[in-house]
Chains A and B, each alone.
Chain A
């Protein structure tokens, strides 16, 4: 078992998906045990793949060749078009395999408790397995078309799971919105993929990179292609202006939010840009676009997180913002920093989501106005949630600190100073909204007595995965250290794991100045949070009244959703009305029915020619003969 057999990882959950989707009703407990066992197998196999991958590590480089495996030819038209299934394993893949398999397993375990007694329980586990299969295929795919295939498949799984409670109209609408918004991005992705194929003559990622390095593309052409590609990444990873679907996606069950909308699917865009980074390096304008979009999203997400009441939506905005951080790192060309942050973020953000799920499960409420003081009732959840929050706020030595630090360092070295300042300010905001969320949810006086009185701690199947993820949130950052990396088999730590062949490696360095600054910012954010929201939160009320317009702008999500709604209702549906009316009135009633009426009218007139009177016929005949005679004799 090694890198050649990496196709097994998606194959196992795919088979389970088919099995569970068809037969979950006939299985004990809807087949959840089978799904979990399958995922456990995937975790073990992912470990084998990782070990095999390490063993190819010689002299600071991975032996090339073994990572690229052609499975089979899917479709071919002569020499002009070849579509094949192929897998590719490198550092990024290994990292993604770890994230996807571990978080999926944790979420499945958690769901046993959280989804207990729900209708369509078996279907839920079937779709989770299907999602895992598609996501694993996405990160092991060696060519862009297979990647697109799994890209759409994870989108479908996301649609089905956001709409899991489809009896709720809001869930049905959210699922639709998520699918259509990401689909708009996917239009760009598919166009980008076909444009790259057109230029390179292949869908194979490594071949495209080679052609790009060899100067086989026109620069403008490549820039346009990569921007289209990035549109797909921005849609999937909820980047401005396609971020609007992610907060609404919180309509899905909370474990789904943890898995798909925090740790795995939404980072697919980050993964794609990281995977294609050698090509982005050729077209710096496209890379700058990634940088600025990422920065905008990071700042927007964090500010919206400040004013939101729904505990899950706060986390969703936080995810939007943190994904923006990753794109900032990619925008300055630092794959390592982006992937490192992706790695740590997956653990602490899924932990936070599972914690919020525990709160919802225990109280039945999810608005901070209805919560408060829960630390007495849900002590374990509170502890785990705080661990996740501190990691998110970027306090040393938790996971988030190390990776966020890397991004700041990368930005400091690779972009103008104002950008660094904006991102640092966003870090501060992150700490503030995180503190606000923790204080309003777990401390202070209970705001809804009824919810508080019925609150209860979650059962062990839910707490255990949270415990594991909390542990990872504490230690995941240490893989950056060379020593830890060596113990794990990665000489040089994460920096040397996450790099592509021929791409610049990166060794983790500790920058005391940036680290101290970042920690100070995090602590300052926490202090500000305490000042405003500790106790009866009068200061927060006052702060709101200082700038009501600003507050309104944030609550209204910068009017982006509103803008889209107006565009859809007025422009797109308006155009559709015009087309539908045009079709009925012009083409149908004038063109088709009009012709028919014209013919009918002509016939009505012509019938008067048939008078039935012999003299008229005789006259017509005589005229006819005369005309024929003139024609016939006139020619000679």
Chain B
């Protein structure tokens, strides 16, 4: 990846930001213009994301396409480099950028049918996406945190205005928990800045800086809980089922698909890359919370009869795997964690897309109220089965390759945890197959005779996600090569 391609990285947050501004200028009634702008913008983001993912040379430098402008320097407590507008891509962020491109493309398509304040919805959604992209490509800690918050805050309005069910409660709870968590990150970031004593927010410089051992031991839990809350780490996950249940389709997709990954990404960037001794000390705790979350989410999901609540618990379970992978402190397990972030992202986005497609027609999310839906909506059912099979780790689909790395890594570190992780996959199969048997199969219920097949935009969105599921499942090396290279270069020696 050349330096000039770094401008593409810069374009990733700027396109949604610019589109959001452009959208504000369009009258609300011009639905076609809104669709045109958002469609083009999301397509551009998708194409650039795919391009930079493949353009990233995993044999090359750790950070590629690095470009920077000074923003604030030699002012007050800031030194020479101070705050810079700096972007770059490494092997850990590359699959995350790709994931964001995939999810926003399909998320945009399925949001076009929103009747209520379509323009305002997209303005907020695109601001959110700008924040997400920005966090993944930013190499300046000040901007990193600014964009991280930019990604989180629009969520409140998106759920409270366009949500369903207990939307005010869900939105408020989500916001409260995430803002409280952000305070911890805020403290950690300024602690890191001060302790490094370099007078700069430049992230590569901060990765290499020296931090005292005690400082690291104190700071790592702040990062782990602060970012972990967004990633749905047990027991800081309760915003997830309620938030997901209340959120509109595209927001659920982005939130479960991408935003939760932002949290895990934060733990890697701040926790593992800057505070390795803290990470080493706390890794067993992280791993323990991870495996508890994985089992807890899976067992809890067995009892859910609401599609979205089940998927919410399932997300807690799958994100638990990510922490197991990170906590193994070996390259295989940590690679598995990053792969799982991608795999869970596309899989859960597909789940929420399909649940939303059904809910928009039936306004009922209790899956016990359905039967024989494979007759009424065969295409919908096939996509759902693909997402489900990926979710419980069927070989050939995305989940397997990620979970396999986590299992192997866990067996290397703690065989018992590995065995429990494998067991969790069987529980996942149980709750999903129960839901399949109830919802898709059996005699079609006359109650839903008016419910028809999903629309073309929904099919297109689901196809993009399903292709991603198959791509990682069948041809995993582009992902694995980048992730392993990124971790090898980025994670300090003491950890691997």
Contact = CB atoms under 8 A, between A and B. Distances in A.
B429 A179 contact: yes
A166 B303 contact: no
A195 B411 CA distance: 8
B31 interface: no
A583 interface: yes
B177 A75 contact: no
A370 B330 CA distance: 63
A628 interface: no
Given A156-B389, A180-B429, A576-B302, A191 B418 contact: yes
B115 to A, nearest CB: 32
A527 interface: no
A169 interface: yes
A198 B477 contact: no
Q: Do most interface residues of chain B lie in helix, strand or loop, or is the interface mixed?
A: helix
Interface in A35-87: 73-78, 80-81
Contacts of A173: 437
B433 A166 contact: no
Contacts of B123: none
A587 interface: yes
B395 A167 contact: no
A81 B433 CA distance: 32
B374 interface: yes
Q: How large is the interface on B (under 10, 10 to 19, 20 to 34, 35 or more residues)?
A: 35 or more
Given A73-B477, A184-B426, A190-B407, 14 more contacts: A75-B477, A80-B332, A145-B404, A152-B396, A152-B400, A171-B441, A175-B441, A179-B433, A180-B426, A195-B411, A575-B299, A576-B302, A577-B303, A596-B176
A5 interface: no
Contacts of A616: none
Can you list the 5 inter-chain pairs with the closest CB atoms, starting with the nearest?
Answer: A172-B441, A576-B302, A149-B395, A166-B441, A576-B303
Interface of B: 173, 176-177, 235, 237-239, 241-242, 296, 299-304, 313, 330-332, 335, 372, 374-375, 389, 394-396, 400-401, 404-405, 407-408, 411-412, 415, 418-419, 422-423, 425-426, 429-430, 433-434, 436-437, 440-444, 476-477, 480, 484, 488
A176 B395 contact: no
Contacts of B331: 77-78, 80
Nearest to B430: A180
Given A75-B476, A156-B389, A587 B442 contact: no
Contact of A588 (B238, B299, B389, B426): B238
A248 interface: no
A183 B442 contact: no
Most buried by A among B400, B401, B404, B423: B404
Interface in A67-121: 73-78, 80-81
Contacts of B372: 167
Contacts of A166: 374, 440-442
A173 B408 CA distance: 33
A187 B425 contact: yes
Nearest to A152: B395
Nearest to A73: B477
Q: Which of A175, A183, A186, A577 has the most CB of B within 10 A?
A: A183
A76 B374 contact: no
Nearest to A577: B303
Contact of B335 (A77, A153, A186, A596): A77
Interface in A514-565: none
Interface string A150-164: 001100100000010
Contact of B433 (A149, A180, A186, A596): A180
A579 B374 contact: no
B394 to A, nearest CB: 6
A591 interface: yes
Interface in A179-226: 179-180, 183-184, 186-187, 190-191, 194-195, 197-198
Contact of B488 (A78, A195, A577, A580): A78
A620 interface: no
Given A76-B480, A153-B396, A167-B372, A579 B488 contact: no
B484 A78 contact: yes
Contacts of A191: 418-419, 422
Contact of A75 (B299, B301, B422, B480): B480
A551 to B, nearest CB: 32
Contacts of A596: 173, 176
A194 B331 CA distance: 16
Nearest to A574: B303
Contacts of A167: 372, 375, 441-444
29 contacts: A75-B476, A75-B477, A76-B480, A78-B484, A78-B488, A81-B332, A145-B404, A149-B396, A153-B394, A153-B395, A166-B374, A167-B443, A167-B444, A172-B436, A172-B437, A175-B441, A179-B429, A180-B433, A183-B429, A187-B422, A190-B422, A191-B419, A194-B407, A194-B411, A572-B302, A576-B301, A576-B302, A580-B300, A591-B238
Contact of A579 (B300, B395, B477): B300
A573 interface: yes
